[in-house]
Amino acid sequence: MLRKFTNKELSEIEEIQYAKKVLNEEGAYSYQNEKYVYFYNNNKELIRIDNNLESKMENYYELNEFMKEIYEKTYKEYKSKKMEDDVMIMLEKVYKEIKRKKGLQINTTLTEDMINSTKLFEDSFEKINEKCNMAMGESKELKKVLKKFNDDEMGGGFIYFIHEQNDEEVLIQLDLVDYLTCVVCRVEEIEDFQFIKEEDGIYLKLHEKYEDIDHAWIDYMGVQM
């Protein structure tokens, strides 16, 4: 006589089929959800036991050593993942409460806001690069010297490049920590330049830029005039 499966039985059949599918994947030794752990024993028989080790110790003691090893590993991973999820839920609740108290919108999660903040930072960094427009200018020799200086990281926390600003070329210093820029001098003010390998620095001979200042030295400390 045919009988109709209950919804509970059907859901368990679907779950077992899914567990078998997971276990057939390369590298998979177990499948677990909130209620059960599934794995194969030495005879390739599908085993299903309760996922709550504390309340179902009788199931655990019935396992052989090989099955215990699989179960313990699976159970530890499950508890670790559950702990991570619980911590994340708690953080989201605290974050939402902080936003609510500050009068901010609470329709986005902590994770979403972190992703959005990262995207804003990346966009800002791209705009800085566009604004700086790190073209090296017309002097091929100066361009080569600056490129080697930057590539060899001789500038410490700074890099240097030629940039067109207000229809004139200027030598720019870019701080790699906070991405602030400053103008070292106009290119036309550079009378001569020399890379001094022994001292890992660039010497700039300038037309008088300010009173008594006719040279600049660039090394890992930045620019000294």
- Asked whether the beta carbons of 173 and 182 are under 8 A apart, the reply is yes
Of the chain, the percentage scoring pLDDT greater than 90 comes to 0
118 band by pLDDT with thresholds 50, 70 and 90: confident
At 156 the pLDDT is 81
Amino acid at 104: L
The pLDDT of residue 162: 80
Residue 193 pLDDT class (50, 70, 90 cuts): confident
Map out the domains of the chain as residue ranges. Answer: 7-82, 133-224
Q: What is the pLDDT of residue 135?
A: 35
Query: Which pLDDT score, from 0 to 100, does residue 187 have?
Result: 81
- Please give the Cα distance from 181 to 175 (Å, whole number): 6
pLDDT tens digit sequence for 130-140? 444 333 344 66
| 8 A C-beta contact, residue 213 and residue 207 | no
Asked if pLDDT for residue 127 goes beyond 50, the answer is yes
137, 169 Cβ separation under 8 angstroms: yes
pLDDT at 57 over 60: no
DSSP 156: T
User: Which range, 40-49, 65-74, 118-127, 163-172, is most confident?
Assistant: 163-172
Q: Residue range 202-225: average pLDDT? A: 77
User: Is residue 88 predicted with pLDDT exceeding 70?
Assistant: yes
83-87, 116-120, 131-135, 180-184: range with lowest mean pLDDT: 131-135
Sign of CA dihedral 145, 146, 152, 156: positive
Summarize the confidence of residues 29-42 as an average pLDDT.
Answer: 78
- The residue to which tokens 């329709």 are assigned: 107
172 pLDDT above the threshold of 80: yes
Mean pLDDT, the chain, rounded, equals 74
Coil, strand, or helix at residue 211? coil
Q: Token digits for 62?
A: 């019935």
What pLDDT is attached to residue 5?
57
Q: CA torsion angle for 64, 70, 74, 80 (degrees, to 10)?
A: 100
